[in-house]
Amino acid sequence: MPKHRERHFAGRIGWLRAAVLGANDGIVSTASLVVGVAAAGAARGDVLLAGVAGLVAGAMSMAAGEYVSVSSQADTERADLAREKQELEDNVEYERRELAQIYVGRGLAPDLAREVAMQLMAHDALGAHARDELGLSEMHSARPLQAAMTSAITFSLGAALPLLLVLISPPAAIIPAVAAGSLLFLALTGGMAAHAGGAGIALGAGRVTLWGALAMAATAVVGNLFGAVL
């Protein structure tokens, strides 16, 4: 009999969240910055300088933010596991009854729940409690470096797209070219992210495109106001 392999999307949650957040933020923030500076009447060189500075600052900010955030999550997970390990050492019988009660709550008969709890704890007591009491698993465990690197790289790739449009567009067409191109990029990345996560492509593309359009519109208004004043 051929081996059946199931495809699940849950294993992608860690890196997918960081990748989508990084790419979308790179496109939105850099495109908005470029549109705002261009709307203030800046020359192409000044627009590019602002965009490149935004790329570098944004990538570092994303990496630092993700690392700190996910590190805090990892610290919490380690603290919970340490506490659970101590509880298993102090009163293993109570922990066995607690685990059995969890299985009863999920629909198992009491006798079967006790047997399942006994066998799972005999194999890996801490692992059983981590999964079923704390809701922790290796698949979803926090990985700070992975999240930081993924966010920084994808932010840089996303931010590079509006800058490329600035380079290839005529000076008079920078704003419409960057706005239209960036919205297209956002729709593509949002759709691909939704597909990778098993969600609806149209919904994924639409929501990031909407927020990107609002961000660019807001910075264009600010750029025009400051350009008129200064």
Summarised one tens digit per residue, pLDDT across range 27-48 is 999 999 999 999 988 889 999 9
Q: Which of 77-86, 172-181, 187-196 has the highest mean pLDDT?
A: 172-181
Task: Tell me what pLDDT residue 10 has.
Answer: 45
Residue 91 pLDDT > 50: yes
Report the chain's mean pLDDT, rounded to a whole number: 82
Top-confidence residue, 61 or 124: 61
Task: Tell me what pLDDT residue 18 has.
Answer: 64
Q: What is the pLDDT of residues 97-109, one digit of tens each?
A: 888 888 888 888 8
Top-confidence residue, 15 or 51: 51
**pLDDT-derived band of residue 228, with 50, 70 and 90 as boundaries?**
low
Q: What proportion of the chain, given as a percentage, has pLDDT over 90?
A: 27
Top-confidence residue, 3 or 147: 147
**pLDDT-derived band of residue 197, with 50, 70 and 90 as boundaries?**
low
Task: Tell me what pLDDT residue 164 has.
Answer: 94
Average pLDDT of the segment spanning 41-62? 92
Residue 7 pLDDT > 60: no
**pLDDT-derived band of residue 204, with 50, 70 and 90 as boundaries?**
confident
**pLDDT-derived band of residue 49, with 50, 70 and 90 as boundaries?**
very high
Residue 11 pLDDT > 50: no
Residue 139 pLDDT > 70: no
Q: What proportion of the chain, given as a percentage, has pLDDT over 70?
A: 86
Residue 220 pLDDT > 70: yes
Task: Tell me what pLDDT residue 138 has.
Answer: 58
Using an 8 Å Cβ cutoff, are 155 and 25 in contact? Answer: yes
